[in-house]
Amino acid sequence: MAVDVIVRKTAEKTVLTAGGNLSISVSAPSVIEIHGSSQAVSHYIRQGKDLLIYMKDGSVIRCTNYFAEYPDTPNHSELVFNDGGELTHISFSEASEPEGFAATVLTPQEELIESIEPFLEQHSRMFD
């Protein structure tokens, strides 16, 4: 599975690939773009500030600090699936932090989008 981690402020992209479990460290608000279908997900868990994505094939993608808040920006991380050009943005309504390190099952809201560019702070500067 391939995953792009794109920092929202700079549009800097890191490409990660793994044949099984994958751990992604998020150090700034980023777009996590998973190359695959959102239909391949079994369920989503919030554990502390981490997002765990359990895939139907048994693998797990852990996004460390996905839910972290950064005082210097109103932005937060975003999750997008890229299924051969069709982009699906995933958001969670009950994303408040659970007490302690308890795990909370999240209910995804899916929205088809045309591009990840609106999530990038550099969008207006890159395309002027």
User: At residue 126, does pLDDT exceed 60?
Assistant: no
The pTM for the full model equals: 0.89
What dihedral do alpha carbons 98, 102, 105, 107 form, nearest 10°? 10
Show me where the domains of the chain are located.
2-126
Phi-psi label, residue 65: left if phi above 0, alpha if psi -120 to 50, beta otherwise? left
Give the mean model confidence (pLDDT) for residues 82-104: 82
pLDDT tens string 33-58 = 999 999 999 999 999 899 999 999 99
What's the rounded Cα separation, in Å, for the pair 91 and 98?
Answer: 17
